[in-house]
Chains A and B, each alone.
Chain A
């Protein structure tokens, strides 16, 4: 005992806990991963339903299914939900579950902070959706351009819910970002040098740096907006000398790295899935890693390509145009490296692989249309039209969502110990691929013949009718494919085949341990000799080298001696207290003060929960 610091985990146990309370108080990265995944999937469905209602409204011209105001609320919530409440937390589910397993660790660096991240995320998401209950749904778009958000043009609480909700979510993202940076830097198993880290871990690391560097920009933007709305400042109000373009700069300095926050995890997943099912190492892994770093780095220097129509002048337009085109180089290199990975392999067409192939095929299209509006003159025709809607859905749905589903089919056996049904997986894939292209490919055309974004209705004589109807039909094919996936999950958990530790002949450490893994993950921390450690243990390097030594079989008393962090209910209580404080801004300042004091108290108790005075720790 005396060898440990004063902060001593007291009652941690290697035994799995059960029951609702154990989920609420859990600090196990795997359970938090499942919580993230489940919540995110539910929000993905909500955002999807919002999209379906919009598609129904746009199926025919001059439609009156929903009115202007409702439609504006729908696209605002669809964008906000899919970005902050679906794709980001779905990625976070994999970060949480997989990062410790893939780097040979027993948990993340700060398990209790991890729990706090999740509960703050959920609190922010629920706060945002509380706007539906009081009829003040955010309605200024996920980008919330000033000065449409100023009190004069946005009375009521619509914008307040959005502005405060995003701030809460930002706290969760920042906490998780620091947690994973520290985890990846410090918690790797012995022998796992940076260049031996799996590429998914690399992409996770890049994403976390993007999070901790980009979220402060939007936080500043939101705080200025908060001052404008609550305390009468004029940061974005032209009449008071403010500048609405300040918002656009701050928002996109966050917003463009955010795009890479959404896509890099999927790129990481694809970089794990392809080698596994081609049974070959990732082609040019160092280049793929450097490309990911370059994409993240350049991502901070291209924000004004969202603002080519604003009129920043030819010099700024040229600089941001060239920087944007530069990003296409590492992106293109990655795509060719993935194809190179398949070249010469023995490709097994599992559902996971299909989704990764779908990712490459669709993301390539999104990337290429991105090159088109990287040229400002072309962008002046395409920006704010359905061409751009098509472009970023090819990147974020064809890219991120396909990649994330690939990860689900790939890692489901590890997470739940059962195989998702392959046949249903294939049906899911083909339906989604067809539905996706039916929905979004015609939008390129609609944009090129002049259909603007964010319009709740259109005239019947503009040639937009037919392909809008097709897109609506396509969106329901996507919905059907998601239903097939849900059926698959249901079937799997009733009667799915038991997976065993290594169903895919995997290459990385997570496949070396039972499925689902025990609370402590690794009974004995492995020693790592290469990027594909498990493959090296099983098959050697394929060039005559001896297989890596397998770790020794642990003894029961070793397992009994493993200390895991104990559960805590303070994260959820702290998250609630903080949300009460912020909600007070919409209700009464008394509530802000009470909530603020409660927050401080909870922070203190949370910090001191397992603190033992030095004397006691030594006794």
Chain B
């Protein structure tokens, strides 16, 4: 009797130790509210997904605890002792086996039904009455182009959307497969050549959310990042107005020098600045100075970073298609002054 009690106590204490360890980890080392977290959703799409994730997590956690505890218990209870006789040669137990087969099937049914409901719900095309904001996304090696067809705005690596309005991303890739993903706003959707995939969501919390390409797409896949900026409605309208404005004329000698350099150098072949150049291979730079980041969101958009980038893009983004033009230090400085003036 007392031996049984001791055994029971040691089992309980073992389980307690494990539970303490797990919860300690939860308190100390696992902050969930990070910039690319998937478990603090900020859109309806993200919330639906997350609810399903939590439902499945609880069921699997339960099964996990039962199985692992059972395994430990069986090993400990039936450990070999000196002089133990040959155990009874049991070959199975039909009722038990049918029982746990059915139990697994039932649990999967509990998970499966809401899964299918949410699959259909998250892939519905938005009703026109909701006035969805359509944004065409082009994933390219290795940057993101965003076009607002109704607003006639083109930007790169930074997409601005209003909170509380349905956003309807149309995804297409001119080169290879990419995947468009802003973890805090919900799941990813692949960006596939010759297909237009759609991703619909209503962001609900203003803020700046980092995103990243999630499908391996070649050498600089790791550097194909972007930002989604969710604005309150008024802020979004102001941003739209600013983007629609023609590019500012540079003030100051250095910036003016930069502008003429831009037109003389091969820059114009790839980059558009409204009213100045029509290049369509690289990002539109009309309001480049208003962007927060540089080189597909790898670096903050500051003068020293931009100079480094212009002098040797390859060093910052391996494999990048933008060539090293062999700019002198002065040329890079002038171009930087001009580009950053394009607010």
Contact = CB atoms under 8 A, between A and B. Distances in A.
Same assembly: yes
Interface of A: 67-69, 72, 139-141, 145, 147-148, 153, 238, 243-245, 278-281, 283-287, 309-311, 313-314, 317-318, 321-322, 325-326, 328-329, 332-333, 335-337, 339-340, 342-349, 357, 360-361, 364-365, 368-369, 371-372, 375-385, 445, 447-459, 461-464, 466-467, 539, 541-543
Interface stretch (B61-69, B148-156, B255-263, B305-313): B61-69
B53 to A, nearest CB: 5
Nearest to B182: A450
A197 B52 CA distance: 43
Given A280-B89, A284-B97, A153 B175 contact: yes
Contact of A238 (B38, B57, B193): B193
B197 A448 contact: no
Interface string B185-219: 01111101111011000000000001011111111
Contacts of A344: 78, 87-88, 90
A457 B225 CA distance: 12
A436 B275 CA distance: 59
A458 B220 CA distance: 12
Interface centre among A283, A450, A453 (most CB of B within 10 A): A450
A380 B74 contact: no
Interface stretch (B8-16, B116-124, B237-245, B284-292): B116-124
Given A339-B70, A449-B34, A309 B189 contact: yes
Given A148-B218, A364-B68, A381-B186, A346 B80 contact: yes
25 contacts: A68-B222, A72-B216, A147-B176, A244-B177, A244-B193, A280-B88, A283-B93, A284-B93, A318-B115, A318-B119, A329-B104, A337-B92, A346-B87, A347-B75, A349-B79, A365-B64, A375-B52, A376-B115, A377-B119, A381-B38, A385-B214, A448-B32, A450-B36, A453-B214, A463-B37
Given A339-B71, A449-B36, A287 B119 contact: no
A526 B186 CA distance: 62
B221 A455 contact: yes
B105 A329 contact: yes
Contacts of B130: none
B118 A377 contact: yes
Given A318-B116, A384-B214, 12 more contacts: A72-B219, A243-B194, A278-B87, A314-B123, A325-B108, A333-B101, A349-B80, A371-B60, A381-B49, A381-B53, A457-B223, A542-B89
Contacts of B111: 325, 371, 375
A357 B73 CA distance: 12
Given A281-B91, A383-B214, A238 B194 contact: yes
Interface centre among A141, A285, A342, A461 (most CB of B within 10 A): A342
B222 A458 contact: yes
Given A339-B70, A381-B186, A466-B29, A69 B100 contact: no
Contact of B74 (A140, A328, A339, A381): A339
A321 B116 contact: yes
B214 A452 contact: yes
Contacts of A336: 67, 97, 100
Contacts of B120: 314, 318
Contacts of B34: 449-450, 462-464
B29 A285 contact: no
A278 B186 CA distance: 48
B266 interface: no
Contacts of A309: 179, 187-190, 214-215
B56 interface: yes
A67 B318 contact: yes
Across the A-B interface, the 7 shortest Cβ-Cβ residue pairs: A380-B187, A450-B36, A463-B34, A455-B222, A542-B89, A284-B92, A238-B193
Interface in B93-114: 93, 96-97, 100-101, 104-105, 108, 111-112
A335 B74 CA distance: 13
A376 B119 contact: yes
B342 interface: no
B342 to A, nearest CB: 25
Interface centre among B81, B181, B189 (most CB of A within 10 A): B181
B115 A321 contact: yes
B78 A343 contact: yes
A59 to B, nearest CB: 15
A69 B38 contact: no
B54 to A, nearest CB: 10
Nearest to B210: A462
A461 B298 CA distance: 12
Contacts of B38: 381-382, 385, 447-450
Contacts of B88: 280, 344, 542
B262 to A, nearest CB: 29
A384 B188 contact: yes
Nearest to B63: A368
Contacts of B214: 309, 383-385, 452-453
Interface in B116-168: 116, 118-120, 122-123, 141
Nearest to A291: B101
Nearest to B59: A371
Given A333-B97, A333-B101, A148 B177 contact: yes
Nearest to B60: A368
A455 B142 CA distance: 13
A333 B100 contact: yes
A367 to B, nearest CB: 9
A451 B327 CA distance: 36
B86 interface: yes
Contact of B71 (A67, A360, A448, A463): A360
Contacts of B74: 339, 342-343, 347
A243 B193 CA distance: 8
B319 interface: yes
B39 interface: yes
A258 to B, nearest CB: 19
Contacts of B318: 67-69
Contacts of A451: 36
Contact of A283 (B90, B101, B193): B90
A467 B29 contact: yes
B177 A145 contact: yes
Nearest to A467: B29
B67 A378 contact: no
Contacts of B39: 448-449
Contact of B183 (A318, A450, A454, A457): A450
Given A378-B52, A450-B37, A148 B96 contact: no
Given A244-B177, A329-B108, A378-B53, A279 B190 contact: no
B329 to A, nearest CB: 24
B215 A328 contact: no
Given A244-B193, A385-B214, A462 B78 contact: no
A455 B104 CA distance: 37
B53 A348 contact: no
B90 A153 contact: no
A368 B64 CA distance: 7
Nearest to B46: A381
Nearest to B64: A368
Given A333-B101, A375-B115, A384-B188, A454 B216 contact: yes
B188 A377 contact: no
Contact of B48 (A326, A377, A453, A458): A377
A346 B97 contact: no
Given A317-B119, A380-B186, A381-B53, A329 B36 contact: no
A4 B23 CA distance: 72
A406 B236 CA distance: 61
Given A321-B115, A453-B216, A148 B176 contact: yes
Given A284-B92, A380-B186, A313 B97 contact: no
A129 B154 CA distance: 46
Nearest to A248: B177
A346 B298 CA distance: 59
Contacts of B75: 342, 347, 349, 357
A456 B319 CA distance: 13
